[in-house]
Amino acid sequence: MGSIAQEFTAPEIVELSGSPREIGFEHGRRLAPKIHSQIQVYTAMFKSTSKLDWPAVRRIAEEYSSTIAQLTPELHNEITGIAQGAGLDVLDIVALNARSEIALGLFEDGCTSVGWKTENEGVFLSQNWDWTARVKSNLAMMSIEQEGKPKIWMVTEAGIVGKIGVNSASVGTCLNAIRAKPCDSSKLPIHIALRLCLEATSAKAAIAKLESLGGTASAQHILIADLADPISLELSPLGDIHLHPNEKGIICHTNHFIENRLVNEPPWLAGSPIRLDRARLLMDEIAEGIKVGEKKLTAETLRKEVFSDLFNAPQAICCQEDPVRPIETRSTTLFNIVMRFREGEKPSAEVVWGRPGSGEEGPILRMPW
């Protein structure tokens, strides 16, 4: 008997606006079941990876709560609103937003991101986001409208205030997890940093904002782009390194630092350097095809020729679950996003739910909707 393809379930779309507390409360109210599910997922994950139960996680979250309240009080108000809307303690929501820092170095999420400043087609920013399949049903496509700030459209985990997406000022963000030490709870968690980037009017303004607040609590990578360029931000509490596109306008990144040597980064995902080399090779092949008139750069081209790639599976660009790993930390590609920024046009993004090229992915979803 042949296998039955899974029926596509569209992600929940949540539109938020108003004051920080109003935005948070509606977020928490609308996504309460998903937020409670997230806490169950991360309770099991923290216990498996770092022997921390949820009360211990909440105690660690107290330090981050103080930092967020001091450095970004509006976002702390939003987080408080999420907790109220979902019927939870504020430390539960802080813990979700600082989950990358609380169990630093113990996660196994691997993502591949690509930026490309083209001659004629604008700037492309794209990635596969790989994480445990158990959070897939807790993802949402969210818009946030705030007075005096660009409107945000993003794909995020329920309860988390900033992640992967685009804003009305043509600024976009992608995220790659890095495993390195140290971690500094007096600085901002990476998901708070992503939200600040998505509130900025340019990549330059986003970088200046992060620097003015003292940088990030953990070593992580944000690939940010605007109408001018994609820029690779290798961030750490000990200092940042910024990487720019090569002579073809292309920049690729996976789950290890390329140039930032300020932190202690032991070998982690063996497939990360392989994916980086593979992404660079595949992007170069597309660039050569465009040069000789055999290819055209579109979101579909990137999905088909880069993000569906299975070389070195299961740790491929299109990630598959590795049955050898504990269920709590098994990763698979949960969605692909391709953003585009072009002078004179509104920013846009195409999102595909599931592993691109697998035959089981969902239809193309668009941001803005």
**Is residue 145 within a helix (H) or strand (E), and if so which, with residue range?**
strand 139-145
Average pLDDT over residues 255-279: 92
Q: Which of 102, 135, 150 is the last residue of a domain?
A: 102
Sign of CA pseudo-dihedral 347, 202, 80, 91: positive
| Position 344 confidence tier, pLDDT thresholds 50, 70, 90 | very high
Residue 31 exposed, middle or buried by CB count within 10 Å (0-12, 13-18, 19+): buried
| Position 103 confidence tier, pLDDT thresholds 50, 70, 90 | confident
What is the pLDDT, as a whole number, of residue 108?
54
Q: Is the overall model pTM greater than 0.85, yes or no?
A: yes
What is the pLDDT, as a whole number, of residue 3?
37
Average pLDDT over residues 255-277: 91
Q: Which of 102, 126, 148 is the last residue of a domain?
A: 102
Q: Cα 129 to chain center, whole Å? A: 7
Contact 271, 256 (CB under 8 A): no
The rounded percent of the chain whose pLDDT value lies above 90 is 87
State the total domains in the chain: 2
Residue type, 350: E
Domain hosting residue 30, numbered range: 12-102
What would the pLDDT profile of 207-264 be if each residue is shown by its tens digit? 999 999 999 999 999 999 999 999 999 999 999 999 999 999 999 999 999 999 999 9
Average pLDDT over residues 172-200: 96
What is the pLDDT, as a whole number, of residue 2?
36
- Tell me, yes or no, whether 1 lies in a domain: no
Burial state string for 150-176 with b = 16 or more CB within 10 A and e = fewer than 16: bbbbbbbbbbbbbbbbbbbbbbbbbbb
What's the whole-number average pLDDT of the chain?
94
- Tell me, yes or no, whether 234 lies in a domain: yes
For residues 138 and 35, membership in a common domain is answered with no
Q: Which of 102, 130, 154 is the last residue of a domain?
A: 102
- Tell me, yes or no, whether 155 lies in a domain: yes
Q: Cα 67 to chain center, whole Å? A: 21
Q: What is the radius of gyration, based on Cα positions, of the chain?
A: 19
| pLDDT of 71 higher than 60 | yes
What would the pLDDT profile of 23-58 be if each residue is shown by its tens digit? 999 999 999 999 999 999 999 988 888 889 999 999
The rounded percent of the chain whose pLDDT value lies above 70 is 96
Q: What is the CATH number of the domain that holds 273?
A: 3.60.60.10
What would the pLDDT profile of 287-341 be if each residue is shown by its tens digit? 999 999 999 999 999 999 999 999 999 999 999 988 877 777 788 999 999 999 9
CA 114 – CA 250 distance, rounded (Å): 7
What is the pLDDT, as a whole number, of residue 228?
97
Edge-to-edge order in the sheet of strand 250-253: 250-253, 112-117, 123-131, 332-341, 348-353, 364-367
Two tokens, residue 363? 């239809």
For residues 208 and 147, membership in a common domain is answered with yes
What is the pLDDT, as a whole number, of residue 10?
85
What is the pLDDT, as a whole number, of residue 9?
86
